């Protein structure tokens, strides 16, 4: 059966519902194991969630899209245009843009827990989220690998034994692991500094100065900065 396209009002209602769910869960990341658990946590009628999403995985993917597109009017179309800008950035500019994204993610525990949950579940064979998550990682991987290759060509040589593609994969794995580690062990490691160090080493840039110790306070979604650099990892 062909699915009936959503009307304008239905799409608007769905967008408002996703916004409510994302904001309600951003501080806790308590995504639950069932649709009913999400409904209970966010004080939403389970029937409303079933009407708009059908199942729990569709809710989680809608929340992931919300985080990706927040601060980017025009949704994925606008993000596609913005991603193209990365090709014109210098290595230094790329690090600045990616660190802007990392700072926003690190101050939104709900995002870190959502992506960790989705990736853990998507490791199952033929999981419905696999293609979406791989596509997001592929975009991120391509941006970094291309910049590494360009930087190596500009320098004329490299001491890195990994190919640009391998180094980009290492950066992605480090990024994802660092955010989860920081969420589980707040204050034990300056996650953002280590991530910037990882990026700059991959791009063979100067080492960033170690910042003075500080205690990070997670921001609410309303207080979080705009998306000053997006990467779909």
- Averaged pLDDT, groups of 10, the chain, 233 residues long: 39 81 80 85 90 90 82 51 76 92 82 86 79 86 94 93 97 93 91 96 92 60 42 48
Q: What is the pTM of this model?
A: 0.75
pLDDT of res. 172: 95
Q: Please give the CATH number for the structural domain made up of 1-69.
A: 1.10.10
Instruction: Report the C-alpha gap between 38 and 47 in whole angstroms.
Output: 12
pLDDT of res. 91: 93
* 198 torsion bin: left (phi>0), alpha (psi -120 to 50), beta (else): alpha
pLDDT of res. 81: 64
Smallest Cα–Cα separation from 232: which of 153, 154, 132? 132
185-195: b or e for each residue (b if 16 or more CB lie within 10 Å)?
eeeeebbbebb
- Domain assignments of the chain as residue spans, ordered by start: 1-69, 74-233
> In the structure, how many helices (H) and strands (E) does the chain have?
10, 0
Q: Are 167 and 149 in contact (CB under 8 A)?
A: no
Q: Are 196 and 84 in contact (CB under 8 A)?
A: no
Smallest Cα–Cα separation from 107: which of 229, 31, 221? 221
Long-range contact set of residues 25-29: C-beta below 8 Å, sequence gap at least 24: 25/63, 25/110, 25/114, 26/108, 26/109, 26/110, 26/111, 26/220, 26/221, 27/109, 27/110, 27/218, 27/220, 28/109, 28/110, 29/109, 29/110, 29/111, 29/112, 29/113, 29/114, 29/117
């Amino acid at each position: 059966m062909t699915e009936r396209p959503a009307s304008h009002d239905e799409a608007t209602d769905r967008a408002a519902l996703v916004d409510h769910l994302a904001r309600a869960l951003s501080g806790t990341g308590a995504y639950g194991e069932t649709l009913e658990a999400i409904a209970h946590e966010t004080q939403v009628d389970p029937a409303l969630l079933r009407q708009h999403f059908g199942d729990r995985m569709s809710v989680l993917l809608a929340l992931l899209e919300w985080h990706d597109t927040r601060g980017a009017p025009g949704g994925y179309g606008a993000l596609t245009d913005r991603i193209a800008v990365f090709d014109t950035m210098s290595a230094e500019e790329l690090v600045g843009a990616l660190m802007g994204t990392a700072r926003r993610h690190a101050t939104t525990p709900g995002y870190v827990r959502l992506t960790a949950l989705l990736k853990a579940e998507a490791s199952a064979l033929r999981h419905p989220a696999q293609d979406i998550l791989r596509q997001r990682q592929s975009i991120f991987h391509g941006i970094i690998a291309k910049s590494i290759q360009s930087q190596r060509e500009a320098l004329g040589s490299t001491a890195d034994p990994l190919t640009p593609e391998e180094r980009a994969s290492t950066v992605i794995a480090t990024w994802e692991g660092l955010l989860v580690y920081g969420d589980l062990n707040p204050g034990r490691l300056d996650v953002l500094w280590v991530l910037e160090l990882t990026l700059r080493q991959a791009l063979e840039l100067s080492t960033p100065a170690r910042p003075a110790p500080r205690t990070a306070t997670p921001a609410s979604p309303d207080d979080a900065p705009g998306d000053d650099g997006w990467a779909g990892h």
